[in-house]
Amino acid sequence: MKNSKNIMLLFLLLSTVWVYGQQTQQKIDMDIDAVGNAKINVSMTMNAQQWQVWVSTLGNNPAALKREVERSMPAYFLDDFKLEKDEMNRSFTLSLNAYGVCEINKRGVWTIDTDQKNANLTKLTDYKYMLVSSPEEFGGTIQQTFTISFPPEAENIEVDKDALGNSIFKFDMENSAGGINLLMLGGILFMVIGAGWSGVSMLTNKSK
């Protein structure tokens, strides 16, 4: 059984309080690390009415906010929630860690699903992509801008499609911590010291 994981579905719930309002923009940054986890930052600025509704429902109840986010992302294990509100500017930033966001298949290829058919993806740099989305279920009232940053270890990043026709990212990534271990490091260190010491000793003997 393959588990589909749609990180792009996230955080729509944060927007439900202003479904009836004017168009709102949501900015979501996702930084993927070298083992497929992600640090996610969601930020948005609202008008006065939206802010009032949001504060009364979720903004003043971080536990409820955390629970709503967890329920909207059943595939993931989340922690380290941090909510920062900027009351003066009616905006907030929510950050959290999501584990196991990227999958790695039997051939060692990493994937991350956008859960969107023909996703509107723009390559910003070799390691950064942007996705703009306006979910139909909200009648175009919400525009989400995702930026997805891949780690330097990621190689051959490409956009592909999965069996359901959804756009996915595929990439290779060697584990930075897995290529060497302490035993190997110790061995190399001893060999270098031994060789150096021997060399110095031989040179010293010759000069004598």
The footprint of other proteins (CB under 8 A) covers 1-6, 9, 34-37, 64, 67, 71-72, 74-77, 99-100, 103-109, 175, 177-178, 181-184, 186-198, 201-202, 204-205
- Using the minimum distance from each CB to other proteins, give the nearer residue, 22 or 122: 22
Closest approach, Cβ 89 to other proteins, in A, equals 26
Q: Write down the least CB distance from residue 88 to other proteins, Å.
A: 27
Bridging pattern class, strands 24-32 and 142-149 = parallel
User: Least distance from C-beta 147 to other proteins, angstroms?
Assistant: 22
Give whole-number Cα distances, 164 to 109, 161, 188, in Å. Answer: 18, 8, 49
Cα–Cα distance between 181 and 160 in angstroms, integer? 35
Task: Quote the least distance from Cβ 51 to other proteins, whole Å.
Answer: 16
Complex with other proteins: residue 31 or 103, whichever CB lies closer? 103
Residue nearer to other proteins on the CB measure, 165 or 178: 178
Q: Phi first, then psi: give them for residue 37, nearest 5 degrees.
A: -90, 170
Question: Quick one: 107 or 125, whose CB is closer to other proteins?
Answer: 107
**Strand ranges (DSSP E) for 46-175?**
77-86, 91-99, 103-104, 110-117, 121-125, 128-133, 142-149, 154-161, 166-173
Radius of gyration of the chain (CA): 24
